[in-house]
Amino acid sequence: MPVTPGRIAAGDSGAFVWPVRVYFEDTDAGGVVYYANYLRFMERARTEWLRQRGFEQDRLRADTGILFVVRSVHLDLKRPARFNDALSVSCRPSGMGRASIDVAQSVTRGDLELASAHVRLACVDAERFVPVAIPAPVRSAIELDLGEKR
């Protein structure tokens, strides 16, 4: 699968960015955001990126029988986020296979990068969870994103 993980910088002009506010629900007794919750923030950005490209995931599932599921995550946590922080979560596709999409993501507070991740999504049949080809319209939209990036 010809997938080249991309790089994404804070403030990178081409990336889709979604604001996330940190509430008490996101923090733990260490006083900072609980590590698993960065994955929740990153999924919100991916959902909004797909929506902005014209794809509602409930509609996709109803119309084509597919789901995007996470196959792997490489997550780096650099600095802690805290209650009340106003974060920016970016999302940019960095590669695509027949049934998978690679996405580079970043969480920043102002100019400071707090976390970054490479996420591989698999396109699967919603009932059996086996890989299926990415629907053509989604493929085209992501190719546009990948093209813009270069």
Cβ partners under 8 Å of residue 32, min gap 6: 80, 81, 82
Nearest-angstrom CA–CA distance, 44 and 19: 9
Count residues near a copy of itself (CB under 8 A): 39
Instruction: Given the residues 12, 26, 28, 145, select the one marked as catalytic.
Output: 28
126 binds a copy of itself (CB under 8 A): yes
Nearest-angstrom CA–CA distance, 106 and 58: 25
Instruction: Closer to a copy of itself by CB, 126 or 132: give it.
Output: 126
**Residue whose C-alpha is closest to residue 67's, from 76, 56, 77:** 56
Q: Are 72 and 123 in contact (CB under 8 A)?
A: no
Instruction: Closer to a copy of itself by CB, 28 or 143: give it.
Output: 28
56-75 footprint of a copy of itself as x/- string (CB under 8 A): xxx--------x-xxxxxxx
Q: Are 15 and 8 in contact (CB under 8 A)?
A: yes
CB of 92 to a copy of itself, least distance (A): 19
Instruction: Closer to a copy of itself by CB, 14 or 51: give it.
Output: 51
- In terms of Cβ atoms closer than 10 Å to its own Cβ (0-12, 13-18, 19+), residue 64 is middle
CB of 147 to a copy of itself, least distance (A): 28
Look up 76 and say whether it is catalytic: no
CB of 115 to a copy of itself, least distance (A): 10
40 binds a copy of itself (CB under 8 A): yes
Residues designated as active site: 28
